[in-house]
Amino acid sequence: MRIIFLGAPGAGKGTQSELISAQYGIPAISTGAIIREAIATGTDMGLEAKAYTEKGMLVPDEVVIGIIKERLVKDDCKKGFILDGFPRTVAQAEALDEMGVDIDLVISIEVKDEDIVKRMSGRRVCGSCGSSYHIVYKPSRSGEQCDKCGSDLSIRADDKPEVVLDRLRVYHEMTEPLKDYYKSKGKCVEVEGQEILDDTSALVREQIALAFGK
C-alpha cells in the first residue's frame, strides 16, 4: 500500500496520514517533519532548509528528493508507506517514478483557501515529537501539552498568517498540477475536506477501501 496525500497546507494531510498509518501499520513519512527536525537539531540540511521554510517557500527539489531516497530504503517501508507533503512539484513526482516507486493511490484533500487561512490560526505543533493538533478540531487532552510526549505545543513559524498566504500561492502554482499528473495515470482521487476531522477520515477510508478492497 503506497499512498500519497496531496492538498494545500493545513488541509489535513498530516492528520489523515497518521490515522491511516496507525490503522494499517505502515509509516507516514512527512518531509516537512523531517525538515523541521533537521532545523531543530541544526544539521547542514536544516540550515539550508530554514531560510526557505520560514518564507513559506519550497526547499529545493534535490534536497527533498535526497531525503525521500534515504527514507524509502529503510526496512519499515517494505510493506508500504504514506507520503505526506511529498511530492510537491512535478520534478519530485518524476524523481519518484525514476526511483521505480510505484504509487497505488493519490488522495487529494480539497479545502477552500479561505477555510485554510481560518484553520491555520488554530493549528499547534509539538516541538519535540512533531505531533500536530488544532485548538478546535483536534485539541490535545491536556490543553497546551502534547498527548504523546508531554512537551509544550506551539504555533509553527510558517503558520503565521502572512506566511500561510505565500504557502497557498506556492501550493496552487507548484503542487496543484500534480493532481493532473496523477489523474492522467488514473491514480488520483479527490476528497472534500470536512469541518469535522472524523468525517474527512470516513471519506478517506472509503477511497482506500475502493482502491485496496480493505
Residues of this chain that bind ligand AMP (CB under 6 A)? 9, 30-32, 35, 52-53, 56-59, 64, 85-88, 92, 158, 167
71 has catalytic annotation: no
Q: Is 84 helix (H, G, I), strand (E, B) or coil?
A: strand
CB of 35 to ligand AMP, least distance (A): 5
Active site residue 88: yes
On the 0-12 / 13-18 / 19+ scale of CB atoms within 10 A, 211 is middle
Q: Is 36 a catalytic residue?
A: no
Kindly name the residue from 13, 36, 50, 124 that is annotated as catalytic. 13
- Which of 36, 50, 123, 124 is catalytic? The answer is 123
Give min distance, CB of 56 to ligand AMP, in A. Answer: 6
Pairwise CA distance, residues 168 & 170, whole Å: 5
Instruction: Based on the residue annotation, tell me whether 205 is a catalytic residue of this protein.
Output: no
Rounded to a whole number of angstroms, the minimum distance from the CB of residue 96 to ligand AMP is 11
Shortest distance in whole angstroms from residue 60 CB to ligand AMP = 7
Give the nearer residue to ligand AMP in terms of CB position, either 31 or 108. Answer: 31
Alpha carbon separation from 165 to 45, 133, 144, 171, 172 (Å, rounded): 25, 20, 26, 10, 11
* Residue closer to ligand AMP, measured from CB, 96 or 191: 96
Give the nearer residue to ligand AMP in terms of CB position, either 87 or 193: 87
Report the Cα 105 to chain-centroid distance in Å.
Answer: 15
CB of 158 or CB of 203, closer to ligand AMP: 158
CA dihedral 97, 100, 102, 108 (to 10 degrees): -30
Minimal CB distance residue for ligand AMP = 32
Name the amino acid, one letter, at 16.
Answer: Q
Amino acid found at 167: R
* Shortest Å distance, C-beta 19 to ligand AMP: 16
Listed residue (134, 199, 123) closest to 158, CA to CA? 123
Distances (CA, A) of 194 to 38, 109, 122, 191, 206: 32, 9, 16, 9, 14
Grid cell of 19 as nine digits:
490515522
Active site residue 119: no
Closer residue to ligand AMP, CB minimum distance, 12 or 85: 85
Residue among 2, 36, 50, 88 flagged as catalytic: 88
Active site residues per annotation: 13, 88, 123, 156, 167
